[in-house]
A and B are shown apart, each in its own frame.
Chain A
Amino acid sequence: MPMDKSFADTVFRNGRIYTSNRKQPWATWAAVRAGRFIAVGEERDVAPLVGERTATVDLGGRMAMPGIVDIHNHIMMGGQADLYELRFASSASVAKIAETLHKAASAAAPGAWIVGGQFGNNLLGEMNTAESCALLDAACLGHPVVLRDDSYHNRWASSAALRLAGVQADTPNPTDGEIGRDLKTGTLTGIMIEAASGLVERALAASGHYTAEMDRAAVARSISVLNTYGVTAFIDAASMQPIMAALKGLDDRGELTAWAVCAMPVVEPGFMFGKAGEELFALREEYRGAHVKPDYVKVFLDGVPGAKTAAFHEPYLADPVRGCCFRGATMLTVPDLIRWLGRCEKLGLAAKIHCAGDAAVTQALDAIDVVRSFNGPTHLVHQIAHASYITPDDIPRFAALGVAADLSPIIWYPTVFLEAHKAAMGDERAQRFWPNRDLKNAGALMAGGSDWPVIPIPDPWQGIEGMVTRQNPTGDFPGKSLWAEQALDLATVIDIYTIDAARAAGLGQTIGSIETGKSADLIVLDQMIFDVAPDRLADTRVEMTFFEGRKVYERA
């Protein structure tokens, strides 16, 4: 009798398995041993691997496909908000926020921090007054409180929190930040703009409010949410030490249920605080695990179009503050970016470069062009994140330079984001947004992502439908399309969310398709997506998610 090790641990049978493998796009059976596919094909290919101890998953004719890769999210935030934060809607008024806070403060342990969010950033003006500050302090019952806004860039802190942060009436504003003061009285209001947020966030971090255990639980919660949508791999797009520690902690315990690629910021981002750059890179091997890959860096080259902080070739619409000819600016010069990229390539790190405006895209491509010319070919795949406003001349450069387009967040159809962009740069320009078809035709490697929590739910199926229809899958903006010519066919889109995203994440040999030797990351769907109307794609529900052959989610 053959030894057990020649048999499969698990066999999937009777499925309509879409593999994302061009050489064998469809299969009905697949076998798994030790977390890897060992056979993919028809019954006759796989059945001989069924032994006495082999578990069988009967797919019952349902569609299965590779686990989805989310090329861009912020893995700590969603879970942390879910588990430990006081939640209120971004539409809540100051009075409503104070009421919610008062209830939480009454129940909180003495001296404990209260962290909450997210308030609408339209409230910043109203909050930045002595009156609102008094309301906040009354509600918080002496607890240190920090509330985050919906952009994650600004904070509202109670007086107790400011005291712990060492912020006083005469504390100077930090570079790139402002400490809110009442216009009439000059007293602190608790409002902390941009870099000033770091003063309070660092005090919160120093307090030990979030323990390593809490961080692990937050990340685990986020990943379990991803698993429900069929996501089994992701890039965390701004990996600070606590995030990598949590991922590594879960992996060491055998509790990590997705491949985690970490992009470590080259400089401290505006919304997260702690070690960055060389100091952080130096620690990366401490956090590497079987499924944790700290192999990317994150570079922020500009901001966002809605706030007119993205860098464009053409000016924004004139406004009283910026005048007629404001184009936004990049945060690094080309030589600075070249230096970072050169350094990263020496360290074996690829870069994810945030470029929301077309001028930022051009600058990133220019820098990569220089680096390629001097350094020659590389296996590293640099990414341009949010590759959405791209000047036509730059489209072919993605493929020419081997740069991947990180398609995130999921807004390639009419959304409120687009409305803000129209206000910033006019209708016509705003709608030349996400030239996905042009990128595809030019041979660019493209990868789908959520940018969760920028998008409140990390549901790739909305993105998949939107990429095919260019219409809003939620029913908002009915009948309206965003640049319909840029629609893609479903098979291409599934590649973008599986094998192509895996390649962009540096894991093309390990995940992204159902083929022998690859990680057995497989999801079972409630509908045959190639048979349904495109506007039903977002209704797709994941029935089961398998990570390395292990079931990590089953729909109730």
Chain B
Amino acid sequence: MDAVDHIPVTVLTGFLGSGKTTVLNHLLRQPEMGGVVAIINEFGEVALDHLLVESSEDRLALLDNGCICCSVREDLIETLDDLAARRAAGTIPPFHRVLVETTGLADPVPVLHTLMTAPDIVGRYRIDGVVATVDAVNGAHTLHAHAEAVRQVAVADRLLVTKTDLVSGDTLARLEARLVAINPVAALSQVSNGIVDPARVLDAGLFDPAARSADVVRWFETAARAAVEPHHHAHDCEGTRCDHPVHHAHDSDVQSFSLVIDEPIHGEAFSRWLDYVAALKGEDLLRFKAIVNVAEQPDAPLVVHGVQHVFHPPISLAGWPSEDRRSRLVFIVRGIPREIIETTLCKFAAVSRTAIQRPAA
């Protein structure tokens, strides 16, 4: 699949009260938002009135910075279809990016599945990344109490920790350790008063065919470190043992681990293995990301993203983001032992056991 012509879509998620609307309000005012469509839940929540250039109908508004604001319809597919049609017909200005806000309580997974599988959508749009807001004041409690909040963090490529000015350094450090435990590969940044550089939200570039963005390089380097360095995260181990490779989220059963595989993997066998994972373990696979050195195309690594049982069609990159050409697989899971992943990779994806690099015990 070639992603060059597809419109990147950023999904902005975050629990109620996590500061998502504040972030959105800030973003909509920035000049960088020109040419971006923002699909938001309710116009009422964001103060648009004084930004409006024109509002042809209740669903659509053009802001003075060139951002098109659009309230979501019943159905995201319909909304995105309609936007693409209007863009083609020239009834709205051309746009090069979409930002989708999910509702606060929502499990972001269905939105991602829609973007990954709906036939009309996958031909025109691609997921650029998932951004989740977590507030420093209530975040720990929310993660403890709501599985949806854990899922929002688990699927995120970027985490924005908001309201950091309202808590102590210790509280913030504990929350961040917790977030890293759930999702060790998401880029984490702190935000006060919703003030965030649009570039921190948009353009995660994970599906960018050039794959040269600093984010991509950083992401895969983190993944490689997570696989071999059991201590690289400062999470609280609350006990005697801290040498296991699995990072336990304290109040949930979500874990993450990475594998580094130092040999080319056969494409067909790997995709068969992916089918099996999706069929049998999809429910417990919150997020899967991988860059794979495919034996058949050593210079064009394959990037694979999965959210539960749905996998985005693999994307071939034009080249490797760094000198490191080892395959790196990151799993954020609920109760899938690493051993089962390793065993089944060996058995069904023809990976040699010795090529899988494990953390030092």
Chain A interface (Cβ < 8 Å from any Cβ of B): 335, 338-339, 342, 370-371, 373-376
A119: min CB distance to chain B, Å: 43
**Neighbouring B residues of A339 by C-beta, 8 Å:** 279
How many A-B contacts at CB < 8 Å in the complex? Answer: 28
In the complex, A374→B340 CA distance in Å?
A: 6
Chain B interface (Cβ < 8 Å from any Cβ of A): 275-277, 279-281, 340, 343-344, 347-348
In the complex, A335→B274 CA distance in Å?
A: 11
Contact of A376 among B276, B277, B340, B348 (CB under 8 A): B340
A370-B344, A375-B280 given; name 17 further pairs at CB < 8 Å: A335-B275, A335-B276, A335-B279, A338-B275, A338-B276, A338-B279, A339-B279, A342-B279, A342-B280, A373-B343, A373-B347, A374-B276, A374-B277, A374-B280, A374-B281, A374-B340, A376-B340
- In the A-B complex, the 7 residue pairs with the closest CB atoms: A374-B280, A342-B280, A339-B279, A338-B279, A373-B344, A335-B275, A370-B276
In the complex, A345→B276 CA distance in Å?
A: 15
**Neighbouring A residues of B348 by C-beta, 8 Å:** 370, 373
In the complex, A339→B283 CA distance in Å?
A: 12
In the complex, A335→B347 CA distance in Å?
A: 16
**Neighbouring B residues of A376 by C-beta, 8 Å:** 340
**Neighbouring A residues of B347 by C-beta, 8 Å:** 373
**Neighbouring A residues of B281 by C-beta, 8 Å:** 374
**Neighbouring B residues of A335 by C-beta, 8 Å:** 275-276, 279
**Neighbouring B residues of A342 by C-beta, 8 Å:** 279-280
In the complex, A374→B279 CA distance in Å?
A: 10
Asked whether, in the complex, the Cβ of B279 is within 8 Å of the Cβ of A373, the reply is no
Asked whether, in the complex, the Cβ of B344 is within 8 Å of the Cβ of A374, the reply is yes
Most chain B CB atoms below 10 A, which of A335, A338, A370, A376 = A370
Asked whether, in the complex, the Cβ of B340 is within 8 Å of the Cβ of A338, the reply is no
Most chain B CB atoms below 10 A, which of A371, A374, A376 = A374
Most chain A CB atoms below 10 A, which of B277, B279, B340, B344 = B279
**Neighbouring B residues of A370 by C-beta, 8 Å:** 276, 280, 344, 348
User: Closest residue of chain B to A376, judged by CB?
Assistant: B340
User: Closest residue of chain A to B348, judged by CB?
Assistant: A370
User: Closest residue of chain B to A374, judged by CB?
Assistant: B280
B75: min CB distance to chain A, Å: 24
**Neighbouring B residues of A371 by C-beta, 8 Å:** 280
In the complex, A319→B275 CA distance in Å?
A: 37
27 residue pairs from A and B, CB less than 8 Å apart? A335-B275, A335-B276, A335-B279, A338-B275, A338-B276, A338-B279, A338-B280, A339-B279, A342-B279, A342-B280, A370-B276, A370-B280, A370-B344, A370-B348, A371-B280, A373-B340, A373-B343, A373-B344, A373-B347, A373-B348, A374-B276, A374-B277, A374-B280, A374-B281, A374-B340, A374-B344, A376-B340
**Neighbouring B residues of A338 by C-beta, 8 Å:** 275-276, 279-280
**Neighbouring A residues of B344 by C-beta, 8 Å:** 370, 373-374
**Neighbouring B residues of A373 by C-beta, 8 Å:** 340, 343-344, 347-348
User: Closest residue of chain B to A369, judged by CB?
Assistant: B347
In the complex, A376→B339 CA distance in Å?
A: 11
User: Closest residue of chain A to B276, judged by CB?
Assistant: A370
